[in-house]
Amino acid sequence: MEEKTLKNQAAIAISKKRNGRNDLRLKNRFVIFSIMLFGVILIVGSVAFMFSMRQIIRSNKGNELSQILEIERIRLETSVNSEIAIVLKMANSPLIKRYFSNPGDSELERDAFEEIASYRQALLSNMIFWVNDIEKKFYLDDVDPYVIDVNDPESYWYKMTLY
């Protein structure tokens, strides 16, 4: 009986040893599988994160550019509107209207030029030009005027502007 017991104990020990190896192999496989799965999840997650961050950054830049564009448009519109208001006020000046109707009156011309000079100083560009339709003289600030030949192809802008 002792022999059977020894054989049983030996068989149990051998079985435990095999099961221990099998358990160790199973644990090793599980650890390797877990590491590989973690690596795959890490790589896929990182790629997804990068693509989503790229899209978020692109979207934010688009929104930021739209806001900057809108601010600059408003700034330009405000600037142009103030310039237009000054020019419209100048165009409605009774003195300037009388001068444009009668450009041959030297006293009226002097007064109109003084008023035009004051409007020029109110403009941001500090520059103004005008053409009297009767004389067809082009005035640019204080530079001597020149007569526009309306039939000259280079003066195409005159008729386009007038009409």
Q: pLDDT digit string (tens) for 96-117?
A: 999 988 888 889 989 998 999 8
Domains of the chain, by residue range, sit at 1-79, 93-162
The sign of the dihedral angle between the CA atoms of 141, 146, 149, 153 is negative
pTM of structure: 0.53
Higher pLDDT, 160 or 1: 160
Whole-number pLDDT of residue 15: 63
What angle is formed at CA 88 by the lines to CA 85 and CA 93, rounded to 5 degrees? Answer: 125
Q: Tell me the C-alpha distance between 163 and 153, whole Å.
A: 16
Question: Cα-flanking dihedrals φ and ψ of residue 39, to 5°?
Answer: -60, -45
- State whether residue 162 is helix, strand or coil: helix
Answer yes or no: is pLDDT of 47 > 80: yes
20: confidence class by pLDDT, cuts 50, 70, 90 = low
